[in-house]
Structure 1
Amino acid sequence: MTFADADTTTTAAVRPPYPRSPSAAATSGRPVPHTIGVHLYLENAHGEILLGLRHPDCAYAGRTWHFLAGHCEQESAVACLVREAREEAGLLIDPGDVAYVHAVHLVDTPGTPPRMQLVFRARHWTGTPEVLEPDRCVSWSWCRSEALPEPLVPYARAAIDGIRAGRLYTEWGWT
């Protein structure tokens, strides 16, 4: 059977309709590429989450707590996560020990390109977090989820809340 032969009334009832509104960042009517970020949700044996305090002069969210994170650079999301964990904190993670736990699809500031922030949990890792990129992160801390430090990047808080509630997806900043 070809697509043209398919019963469209049944198909339409099963599939949700495509979004009709443009992205918050699209102003010209042309598609806007999304930046892909990866984030490490790491919990220790005490249930504490690893968060880093971003450097005051950082391009994004200076003096704010955030996940260990980075942008995909011509690599898979898991490969990016493994690379960033090693580069930023000296943590060694086997890709087989990584599981997807949440996504935040966001527009951080009106008029900026949308971002898809993928959050992964590592079940096992080797090493103790250390500051290896002091121009980006000034310290790493293990934080209890019920007493997260302030200020915390808002979409990181949304991801943590989503993970703790068992949700896989959050939208943030869309109008």
Structure 2
Amino acid sequence: MSDPADARQTYPALYAAEHGGFSVVPAAYVLLVDEDRVLLQLRANTGYYDDFWAASAAGHVEAGESVVEAAVREASEELGITVAEGDLQALTAMHRTAPTGLAVDQRVDFFFACGSWNGAPALQEEKAADLRWFDLAALPENVVHHERFVLDAWRAGTLRPITAFGF
């Protein structure tokens, strides 16, 4: 029998109505790495940062899913590979915003590096036009801005466990 003191509780409806006006969209980012190289995809057909290079795989955390489960799922969906949860190295959690003030621009992004996977990474979706390995010291100019921030700081050894971007 479980201990009632350990049961998770939910917020009462009135409390949620009074305090639920702010939301944060969580996302998982997987950076496949091979020594000093990182695999990036060229975004296309999304309406958001098209023609920019981006993380190997990334996407929103779905309801009922942990961020680690989301990272594993995104690697499978976008690259056709299998990643073990234990092979994901946490890099940073980024609290991010944009100047619009819109709820959709309030984000928390979880970045993982992964140096081990099963399968050959290949594009699986039409939201990317290319997939290439880049030396971390020679990234293309057009990398999604907040992702570039993470990659540059990681390479420099200055990436903090929790970062903020856009504030």
TM bucket by the smaller chain?
0.7 to 0.9
Contact residue 158 and residue 170 of structure 1 kept, 8 A: no
CA–CA distance in structure 1, aligned partners of residues 141 and 46 of structure 2: 17
Normalised TM-score (structure 2): 0.79
Give the match for residue 149 of structure 1: 140
Give the match for residue 164 of structure 2: 171
Contact residue 50 and residue 141 of structure 1 kept, 8 A: yes
Q: Structure 1 unaligned segments of length 5 or more: list them.
A: 1-28
- Greater CA drift, 136-145 or 101-110: 101-110
Give the match for residue 50 of structure 2: 62
What is the one-letter code of the residue matched to 1:48?
A: R
Give the match for residue 49 of structure 1: 38
Normalised TM-score (structure 1): 0.76
CA–CA distance in structure 2, aligned partners of residues 109 and 38 of structure 1: 22
Q: Structure 2 unaligned segments of length 5 or more: list them.
A: 1-18
CA–CA distance in structure 1, aligned partners of residues 66 and 42 of structure 2: 26
CA–CA distance in structure 1, aligned partners of residues 113 and 145 of structure 2: 19
CA–CA distance in structure 1, aligned partners of residues 31 and 77 of structure 2: 16
Alpha-carbon RMSD: 1.6
Max Rg structure: 1
Count of aligned residue pairs for this structure pair: 143
Contact residue 38 and residue 80 of structure 1 kept, 8 A: yes
1:9-158 equivalences under 5 Å are 31-45=21-35, 47-55=36-44, 57-67=45-55, 68-74=57-63, 75-113=65-103, 114-134=106-126, 136-158=127-149
Percent identity, please: 31
